[in-house]
């Protein structure tokens, strides 16, 4: 495209320069010729008054010398009253040409060796016609023409070169954005999801770059959602895995029991690997759409029925409060169930058997708070526990459980806090905003302070 634009501009500019320069050069040549013959006519006109007064040779020679040069001017006086014809100066024109001008009575030019001559008829007092001959050398006819043509050629070449340079810059301005767009598409096709195109160049290419970047962002978003879905589904498998592990622990001793426990441990490791692999990209979570939501009290009661059976098997005391009346929240039922399973699964996974736990639901005017607390050893580093994708330490945690809970809360404008519970262990406080994504201002146990978001890692 770039060279095509340069060639087109070169052809057009060359045609324009030729169309103007050739006629202008011919006009300059004609003007130089007219200038030379105008000077010759002035010289001939300077002699005419003297011829009308006298025809004496000496006086006419002085007039010719003062008007020009006798080498370039001549006067041809015919014979009058039986006298002799008089020729003053160096004549170059043929006698036939002089006779023709004398007969026709008007000026004429003839070609002679070395240039041209102007033959100007002048009437004498006797009625005869004299002819004044002025020689115009070829050098005077072409004087300054070569210089003018050279200037025209230089100006024309400069115009052509300038137009080519401008066309090349315009071509670069058009081609480079197109090349970057092609390179960005190629990189995106190779899996480089961070590839973006600068929104530069002509309007059409800028719009194409905007559309490409928007498409790339959408692709990244879709892939992140895919990974998020895979991670969430994999994490939900940990709830039945927890049950299997607890049941396997109660099988006693024996080859079958050992194989079952080994299989459950292997399955947990595989699920953890899937979760960590799926969470390599930064996931995005959207808030529940209009019309979605659930009864938090009903979901909490339903999930506690499941976990209470496991609690009885392990001798855990548990308490449930705040679920006597419906509590509507703008969260999908499946998402809230997954978040509760993640929190309660962490209690069973990271605390010893017999450790008590409690679930409390507090319904306010603009928010709902879900508290999950236990009597375990607590969390030494809450920020590290809340950091996305971390926590894969000695206990084998992927760190995804608390992150699922946090994303659920933040999708409504709320957040999640870790602290110490009244039971002596960990308390997870999930703040779910009811009135949209308005910033939350709250404190722990009644103290009002600005909400802080934990950094994603």
| Angle subtended at Cα 96 by Cα 92 and Cα 101, rounded to the nearest 5 degrees | 90
Establish if 317 belongs to a structural domain. Answer: yes
pTM over 0.75: no
Q: What is the dihedral of CA 62, 68, 69, 72, to 10 degrees?
A: -130
Place of tokens 């959408």: 218
Cα 151 to Cα 140: distance, rounded to the nearest angstrom: 19
The residue-averaged pLDDT of 336-349 equals 86
Q: How many domains does the chain have?
A: 2
pLDDT in tens, 362-401: 998 889 999 999 998 888 877 777 765 444 444 455 566 7
Which of 93-97, 215-219, 279-283 has the weakest average pLDDT? 279-283
Average pLDDT across the chain, whole number? 78
Question: What tokens appear for 292 in the block?
Answer: 């979605």
Establish if 250 belongs to a structural domain. Answer: no
Last residue of a domain, one of 121, 146, 171: 146
Cα 207 to Cα 16: distance, rounded to the nearest angstrom: 35
Establish if 249 belongs to a structural domain. Answer: no
Cα 233 to Cα 245: distance, rounded to the nearest angstrom: 19
In the DSSP assignment, the letter for residue 440 is P
Establish if 243 belongs to a structural domain. Answer: no
Establish if 156 belongs to a structural domain. Answer: no
Q: What is the pLDDT of residue 174?
A: 76
Question: What tokens appear for 317 in the block?
Answer: 């005391």
CATH number, domain containing residue 70: 3.30.450
Establish if 260 belongs to a structural domain. Answer: no
CATH number, domain containing residue 368: 3.30.565.10
Band (pLDDT 50/70/90 cuts) for residue 441 is very low
pLDDT in tens, 213-240: 888 888 888 877 776 666 666 666 666 7
Nearest to 259 by CA among 269, 248, 271: 248
Establish if 169 belongs to a structural domain. Answer: no
Last residue of a domain, one of 125, 146, 167: 146
The residue-averaged pLDDT of 137-150 equals 85
Q: What is the pLDDT of residue 289?
A: 46
Task: Please tell me the chain's helix, strand, coil percentages from 3-state DSSP, rounded to the nearest 5.
Answer: 55, 15, 30
Establish if 344 belongs to a structural domain. Answer: yes
Residue 142 pLDDT greater than 90, yes or no: no
What strands, in cross-sheet order, belong to the sheet with 129-137? 86-89, 73-77, 129-137, 115-123, 108-112
Cα 109 to Cα 100: distance, rounded to the nearest angstrom: 11
Q: Which domain holds residue 352?
A: 288-450
The residue-averaged pLDDT of 112-138 equals 83
Residue 115 pLDDT greater than 90, yes or no: no
Q: What is the pLDDT of residue 297?
A: 92
């Amino acid at each position: 495209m770039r060279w095509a634009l340069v060639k087109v501009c070169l052809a057009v500019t060359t045609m324009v320069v030729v169309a103007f320069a050739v006629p202008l050069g011919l006009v300059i040549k004609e003007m130089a010729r007219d200038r030379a013959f105008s000077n010759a006519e002035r010289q001939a006109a300077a002699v005419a008054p003297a011829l009308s007064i006298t025809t004496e040779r000496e006086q006419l020679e002085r007039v010719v010398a003062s008007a020009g040069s006798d080498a370039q001017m001549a006067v041809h006086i015919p014979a009058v009253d039986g006298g002799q014809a008089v020729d003053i100066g160096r004549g170059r024109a043929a006698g036939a040409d002089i006779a023709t001008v004398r007969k026709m009575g008007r000026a004429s030019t003839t070609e002679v060796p070395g240039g041209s001559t102007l033959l100007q008829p002048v009437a004498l007092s006797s009625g005869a016609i004299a002819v004044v001959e002025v020689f115009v050398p070829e050098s005077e006819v072409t004087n300054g023409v070569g210089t003018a043509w050279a200037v025209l050629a230089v100006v024309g070449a400069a115009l052509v070169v300038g137009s080519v340079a401008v066309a090349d810059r315009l071509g670069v301005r058009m081609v480079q954005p197109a090349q970057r767009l092609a390179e960005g598409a190629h990189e995106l096709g190779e899996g480089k999801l961070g590839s973006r195109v600068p929104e530069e160049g002509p309007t059409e290419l800028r719009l194409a770059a905007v559309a490409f970047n928007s498409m790339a962002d959408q692709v990244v978003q879709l892939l992140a959602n895919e990974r998020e879905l895979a991670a969430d589904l994999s994490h939900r498998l940990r709830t039945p895995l927890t049950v299997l592990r607890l049941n396997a622990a109660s099988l006693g001793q024996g080859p079958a029991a050992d194989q079952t426990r080994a299989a459950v441990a292997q399955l947990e490791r595989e699920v953890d690997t899937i979760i960590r692999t799926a969470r390599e990209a930064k996931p995005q979570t959207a808030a529940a759409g209009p019309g979605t939501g659930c009864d938090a009290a009903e979901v909490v009661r339903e999930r506690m029925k499941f976990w209470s059976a496991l609690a009885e098997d392990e001798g855990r005391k548990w308490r449930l409060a705040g679920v006597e009346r419906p509590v509507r929240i703008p969260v999908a039922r499946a998402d809230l169930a997954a978040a509760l399973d993640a929190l309660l699964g962490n209690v069973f996974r990271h605390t010893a058997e017999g450790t008590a736990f409690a679930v409390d639901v507090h319904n306010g005017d603009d928010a709902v708070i879900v508290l999950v607390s236990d009597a375990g050893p607590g969390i030494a580093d809450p920020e590290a526990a809340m950091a996305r994708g971390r926590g894969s330490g000695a206990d084998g945690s992927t760190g995804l459980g608390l992150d699922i809970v946090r994303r659920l809360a933040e999708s409504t404008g709320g957040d999640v806090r870790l602290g110490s519970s009244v039971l002596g262990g960990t308390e997870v406080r999930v703040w779910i905003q009811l009135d949209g994504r308005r910033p939350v201002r709250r404190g722990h146990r009644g103290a009002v302070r600005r909400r802080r978001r934990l950094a994603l890692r």
